[in-house]
Amino acid sequence: MIVIMKLNDSFQIALKSIEKTKIFFVTNVISITVAIFLITIMLSIVYGIKTYVEKQISEGSAILAIEVQNNDESNESRLLNLEKINNFKKIKGVANAFPQYLGFFGYLTLNELNKTMVSLSSIYDYYDLEKKNFQITTGEAKSIVSKKNSILLPENIVRNLGITDYNQINNKQIYLILNRRKGNYEESIRLELTVIGVVEQTRFDRCYLSFDMLHLIKEWQNWNLNNISDSYFHNIYKNNSFPVVIVYASHVKYIESIQNEIQKIGYKTSSIYNLILKYREINKVIVLIMVFLSGISLFTGAIGIFNTSLASVIRRKKEIGIYKAIGASKSDILSIFIWDAVITAFVCSIMTFCISFGFISIINLFLSNFNNLPLLENKWWFYITTDLIAFITCLIATAYPASKASKLNPIDCLKYE
**Mind listing the pLDDT tens digit for each residue in 121-176?**
888 776 665 666 678 888 877 777 677 788 999 988 998 888 888 888 888 899 99
Q: Which residue intervals of 21-167 are DSSP H helices?
A: 22-57, 82-89, 129-132, 155-160
Average pLDDT, the chain: 78
> Poorest-confidence range of 39-48, 111-120, 219-228, 236-245?
236-245
CA distances in angstroms from 402 to 57, 320, 335, 357, listed in the order given? 53, 11, 8, 33
Q: What is the arithmetic mean of pLDDT over 89-118? A: 86
> Residue 117 belongs to what H/E stretch?
strand 115-123
CA distance 311 to 388: 25
- 150 neighbors 143 (Cβ within 8 angstroms): yes
Q: CA dihedral defined by 60, 62, 63, 68, rounded to 10 degrees?
A: 160
CA distance 390 to 139: 55
45-81 burial by CB neighbour count: b if 16+ within 10 A, else e? bbbbbbebebeebbbbbbbbbbbbebeeeeeeebbbb
Of 231, 217, 97, residue with least CA distance to 151: 217
Q: What is the arithmetic mean of pLDDT over 104-115? A: 85
CA atoms within 13 A on the CB side of 190: 8
Q: Where are the domains of the chain?
A: 7-57+279-415, 101-240
Residue 339 has a pLDDT of 81
Q: pLDDT grade, residue 387 (50/70/90)?
A: confident
Residue 238 has a pLDDT of 46
CA distance 255 to 89: 13
Q: pLDDT grade, residue 6 (50/70/90)?
A: low
Q: pLDDT grade, residue 240 (50/70/90)?
A: low
Residue 279 has a pLDDT of 75
Report pLDDT digits (tens) over 310-326. 676 666 666 667 776 77
What is the percent of the chain with per-residue pLDDT over 90, rounded to a whole number? Answer: 6
> Residue 80 belongs to what H/E stretch?
none
Report pLDDT digits (tens) over 75-102. 667 778 888 888 898 999 998 888 888 7
Report pLDDT digits (tens) over 344-380. 888 888 888 888 888 888 888 887 766 555 567 778 8
CA distance 216 to 227: 9
Contacts of 93 (CB under 8 A, 6+ apart): 249, 250, 251, 253, 254, 255, 257, 258
Q: What is the DSSP letter of 224?
A: S
**Residue ranges of E strands in 126-251:** 136-139, 150-154, 173-182, 185-199, 207-210, 244-249
Range with the largest mean pLDDT of 137-146, 190-199, 211-220, 327-336: 190-199
> Poorest-confidence range of 36-45, 160-169, 295-304, 383-392?
295-304
